[in-house]
Chains A and B, each alone.
Chain A
Amino acid sequence: MKTPLMLAGLLIATSAVADETPVFTVYAPDYFASDWGPGPAIEAGFEKTCGCDLRFVTGDLLPRLMLEGATTEADAVIGLNTDVTARARATGLFAPHGQDTSALTLPIAWSDDIFLPFNWGETAFVYDETRLANPPKSFAELLEAPDDLKIVIQDPRSSISGLALLLWVKAVYGDEAPAAWAKLAPKVLTVTKGWSESYGLFSEGEADMVMSYTTSPAYHIIAEGDTTKHAAIFPEGHYFMTELAARIATSDQPELGQAFMAYIMSDDFQGMIATANWSYPARFTPESLPEGFRTLPRPARTLFYSETEAEALRRPALDEWLAAFGG
């Protein structure tokens, strides 16, 4: 609660309890909380106009919602991922976002009236040109690369990017996915719990490539002035990942929820995503992107499974993956 009460009081002068700023609770993933994540900027930006106290509750977003059900104290959530929205939708906890999605600039069509994308990116293997001079130029080349090319990936059972990799391989290789994993498995140095550990191992020079995002090099360019990190762009296509926000239907502050959805679509919000989240904003023009993002190579093909497809595929794809590692 950083905004002065005075401002809030002015805005809700009609309210009988004008001196009590309403609290607007938003569930979000852990990374929102950190000082350099998007959380603090979103909080400050929204509180400028909402006359409310936006509070982020961070942690295991979906498991928490599923445990709480209709008794949840959340008014909205931000940071869900498409590959799990089928389960989220099935809870029936969400209300329509009411925004015009035609303004979105995603590489895929988006018409969902419940889940509103606020950023996106694509899966990619990131490498350091000083350590890997000749990176594979396609997924096929990666599979055929010698086994001493070491990659580090995330476990789909604990990590959303790990799950995205499963779906990426499935989208490229379909029924041949088990054979692809069999070729990939010997190159996997290790499988980590989350993206952070993987990226840490890669940065310490343990692996030649790391499963990350096409936008990862932007961090190194903008924050470190380092242009040696690249995402290997594969002609087979890259898997699309987007993070979503939604309103909770049982919230007793639907107007604030609507205002929050509108704020997500605003220039203010969209403008800070690139460097707070190191991903593409859901709505941008080439000019509105920071310099380091404009020059990033973009894949020619974007691969994506709808949530229904992803839900149906995740279990068999996991079993194939486990089998390839003999686990």
Chain B
Amino acid sequence: MAGGLRRLSAGLPAGLAAGALALLVLGTLGAVARQAGGFGGLRGSDLGALRFTLMQAGASALISVALAVPLARAIARRRWPGRQAFVTALGAPFLMPVIVAVMALIAVFGRSGALNRGLDALGLPTLSIYGPQGVVLAHVFLNLPFAARMILQGWATIPAERIRLARSLGFGPAEIARHLERPMLRAVLPGAVLAVFLVCLTSFAVAMTLGGGPRATTLELAIYQAFRFDFDPGRAASLGLLQVALCLAALAAAARVARPEPLGAGLEQGRALPAPGGWRRLGDGLAIALATLFLLAPLAAVTARGLAGLADLPPGIWPAAARSLWVAVGSGVLTLVLALPLALGVARGGRGLELAGMLPLVASPLVLGTGLFLLLRPLAAPADLALPVTLAVNAALSVPFALRILIPPARQLRDDYGRLAAALDLRGLARLRLLVLPRLARPLGFAGGVAAAFSMGDLGVIALFAAPDRATLPFYLYGLMGSYRLDAAAAAATLLVALTFALFWAFDQGGRRASA
């Protein structure tokens, strides 16, 4: 009886978080469907959108993760000056607002970008970024760093005892790969593929700008069309439901493939693997150099483009930046409050919790915004809710990323300390303070940083709630673009990237400090 109560109290925060997320995603879908008088039928073109969506998301996920593995391994087993800064900078593309990322890619890979000018000067044929290849390139650019960080964390969770054992047994790189790395990858990769796949499933702005035309119609664009062009919210709700179904199917598939293979208990993590020499050294160096070039060149290009205009930014941008910052910090904290109990719950074996936690990833921002608008309008003036709704929705949308970051270390924590904690009867807040927070500080900092950065760049759901005096920085940037002020927009993008990155760095460092 007492044991049951105890389990209930441990599961309560996780249950509440899962319930809130499921309610948000499914409740808004229901609200839209109710407004429309039911779910509407799909059009033939929606099937084409489904096909393209699956294809681009699948290709983007597989390529991102395939490239992330050698990169993560190179980082895991090499030490060089500035490695830490490199790992932090690696997160930049993922943390960039999509609209800025697209500008950045075009500066390098566009028709008049650096790459094609170089090819042209050498008399070589130029490459086009516009088309399905451009969509996949952009998604890899955005998601490769996140995949690499997730996988890098897998390397960090290999217990130091195992690495010492491998050293003393004289394991070469091949044996280490077979006995330590492959089991770890088997546990980590399906989650990484799943996360990238789901992110790309709801892609909209990237697919549209770089897609090259209506062939590149995603489900999210079909939803947009249903709302905007056809004024058919019923069909939009059906398409939203289809996205949720895809999420469930992808989760089920990932669960079948993943094999949480604990490498056993360990007292210490994050010890460097032996760094093999020879061609492997060359290969690792190449992986790191290419990744730097691919991920940071566009970032440098877009930042440089805006530097000149920074001094001439209109004064209205500063309140917008301040608004964005506090929404982002709030959203980062709220994400952790939701994601930590969920991650601990998943580590205890709660599959349903993981499902609820991943759902927001495929919630169509348009359906979410419209549903919330319908649900909240009777309660308060939408304009007054603009920032709280933005904060809450951004937090909800960040939970899936936070979960992917937190679940593997939470499992590890349970494997390593679960029995000891039970023997000591360590639970509740004491367990949180003495065991969970110190051991998970690093991933918590990273997850909070990702969530805050994500919120910083988001412009998604607030269209129906927007009020002129509550514009966030991305909204402001978009306003500049919409009124011919492209130099100011470029400067705003530079500011946005700088602030986003500073915020991410602060969270990430906070986690490192707390764990050290």
Contact = CB atoms under 8 A, between A and B. Distances in A.
Contacts of A206: 106, 110-112
A54 B478 CA distance: 24
Nearest to A199: B484
B168 interface: no
Contact of B482 (A31, A35, A207): A31
B146 interface: no
Nearest to B374: A67
A163 B228 CA distance: 11
B118 to A, nearest CB: 15
B505 to A, nearest CB: 28
A204 B466 contact: no
Contact of A190 (B48, B209, B227, B464): B209
Given A63-B227, A193-B205, A73 B381 contact: yes
Interface residues on B, range: 35 or more
A84 to B, nearest CB: 9
Contact of B225 (A36, A68, A157, A188): A157
Contact of A57 (B35, B212, B467): B467
A171 interface: no
A303 interface: no
B325 interface: no
Nearest to A31: B482
A157 B479 contact: no
Interface in B461-501: 463-468, 471, 475-476, 478-486, 489
A168 interface: no
Nearest to A32: B468
A69 B71 CA distance: 54
B479 A31 contact: yes
Contacts of B225: 157-158
B231 A189 contact: no
Interface string A34-55: 1111010000000000000000
Contacts of A327: 45, 48, 213-215, 217
A327 B212 CA distance: 11
Given A203-B486, A322-B45, A37 B479 contact: yes
A279 to B, nearest CB: 12
Contacts of B467: 33, 57-58
Given A32-B468, A57-B467, A200-B103, A189 B209 contact: no
B380 to A, nearest CB: 12
A35 B319 CA distance: 12
A200 B370 contact: no
A197 B212 CA distance: 13
B130 A189 contact: yes
Scoring A60, A67, A190, A325 by chain B CB atoms within 10 A of each residue's CB, the highest score goes to: A190
B112 A205 contact: yes
Given A59-B465, A204-B110, A190 B211 contact: yes
B228 A59 contact: no
Scoring B112, B215, B463, B479 by chain A CB atoms within 10 A of each residue's CB, the highest score goes to: B479
A322 B111 contact: no
Contacts of A39: 468
B314 interface: yes
A143 interface: no
A201 B106 CA distance: 9
Interface in A209-266: 216, 219-220, 223
A196 B481 contact: yes
B229 interface: yes
B229 A157 contact: yes
A114 B314 CA distance: 37
Contacts of A200: 103, 481, 486, 489
B448 to A, nearest CB: 30
Contacts of B383: 57
Contact of A322 (B210, B211, B214): B214
A196 B478 contact: yes
Contacts of A118: none
A30 B482 contact: yes
Contacts of B217: 327
Contact of B215 (A60, A67, A325): A325
A125 interface: no
A143 to B, nearest CB: 17
B310 to A, nearest CB: 17
Nearest to B482: A196
A156 B476 CA distance: 24
B316 interface: yes
Contacts of B489: 200
Interface string B444-470: 000000000000000000011111100
Contacts of B374: 67
A140 B204 CA distance: 33
Interface in A250-292: 278
A296 to B, nearest CB: 15
A278 B484 CA distance: 10
Given A59-B466, A199-B484, A322-B45, A204 B212 contact: no
Contacts of A60: 228, 463-464
Given A35-B314, A156-B229, A64 B464 contact: yes
Nearest to B211: A190
Contacts of B483: 31, 34, 36-37, 278
B68 interface: no
A137 interface: no
Contacts of B211: 190-191
Given A30-B482, A157-B224, 19 more contacts: A34-B483, A35-B316, A36-B314, A56-B468, A60-B228, A63-B228, A67-B35, A67-B370, A155-B208, A157-B229, A158-B225, A189-B111, A189-B130, A190-B130, A193-B208, A201-B106, A223-B484, A326-B215, A327-B213
Interface of A: 30-37, 39, 56-60, 63-64, 66-68, 73, 87, 150, 155-158, 163, 185, 188-197, 199-201, 203-207, 216, 219-220, 223, 278, 314, 318, 321-322, 325-327
Interface of B: 35, 45, 48, 99, 103, 106-107, 110-112, 130, 204-205, 208-215, 217, 221, 224-225, 227-229, 231, 233, 314, 316, 370, 373-374, 377, 381-383, 463-468, 471, 475-476, 478-486, 489
29 contacts: A30-B475, A30-B478, A31-B482, A32-B468, A34-B471, A34-B483, A36-B485, A39-B468, A57-B467, A59-B465, A60-B464, A64-B373, A67-B233, A67-B374, A157-B229, A158-B228, A185-B213, A190-B211, A194-B482, A196-B481, A196-B482, A203-B486, A204-B103, A204-B107, A205-B112, A206-B111, A216-B484, A321-B214, A325-B213
